[in-house]
Amino acid sequence: MCCFSREVRKVADTNIFARASKEGRQFLVYSMRLDAPKELAMILPIPVPAKSAEDAVKFISLKEYDRFFLDLKQGFPEPKAELSRGSKNAPLPKVAAPLPVVEVGAFAASFVPAIKDFDRLDERFRLRSEVWKSLPQYADYGFAVFQLKEGEQKVHPMAFEFPRRKADKLFFPTVHIHDGQVRLKARFDHALYCQIDEGTSTVEWEESPGHARQFVKSEKAQGIVEPDAHVYRRRLVGLLENADTWA
């Protein structure tokens, strides 16, 4: 979900990678180009099991591998002639303890276990409660929150591992909220990458000709990519249904 706590002037070149991890967990890597007038947060709803612990999500720094998606793209050589597709005495209320914030490369990140826990984050990095009311599908989701700086920037890959609710499905957060409004359709500029279990349908995906080790630096990817498996890619470009993607 390309969802922001404050106004953004431009978001483009979004790339997402997903792969099943061990013990019912999933890796997710996210990157994009962004132009924002003020510091803000990118919020990614993730389908974790209900009542997941505050340490359920493991954040992974890929600061030293900012070419992660460039290398993935190299696994899909383009045909030369291919066309693009398109009261003042009242007792004070109890305040919940702030959520842990960890440094992940060039930015700070937090896992918010449930919507009610957003009150434990700085208000600069939250969405208005009215927005969540219009998104009932996320009522019992958790949220990975990345605090980003103002200005025009290419955000290095943001990576984490989370416990997944559907053990047989990979989740891609692709719903858009850029201005506090939830629209039925949104303009996409996304490349989705994944590695999937044998036997999973890949009708809408293109397969890399070679194994990942031929174009991804496995040691820098920190176990996120399986070197001896193929990678699959799907492009989402243009005005499309504003929804998340599963594989």
Assigned domain for 86 exists? no
What is the predicted pLDDT for the residue at 99?
66
Three-state helix/strand/coil letters over the chain: CEEECCCCCEEEEEEEEEEECCCCEEEEEEEEEEEECCCEEEEEEECCCCCCCCCCCEEEECHHHCCHHHHHHHCCCCCCCCCCCCCCCCCCCCCCCCCCCEEECCEEEEEECCHHHHHHCCHHHCCCHHHHHCCHHHCCCEEEEEEECCEEEEEEEEEEEEECCCCCCCEECCCEECCCCCCCEEEEEEEEEEECCCCCCCCCCEEEEEEHHHCCCHHHHCCCCCCCCEEEEEEEEEEEECCCEEC
As a whole number, mean pLDDT of residues 211-217 equals 97
The boundaries of the domain holding residue 22 are: 2-77+97-246
Domain count, the chain: 1
Assigned domain for 46 exists? yes
Q: What is the pTM of this model?
A: 0.85
Lowest mean pLDDT across 67-71, 140-144, 183-187, 234-238: 183-187
Assigned domain for 85 exists? no
pLDDT value at 190 more than 90: yes
Q: pLDDT band at 105, cuts 50/70/90? A: low
What is the predicted pLDDT for the residue at 92?
47
Assigned domain for 92 exists? no
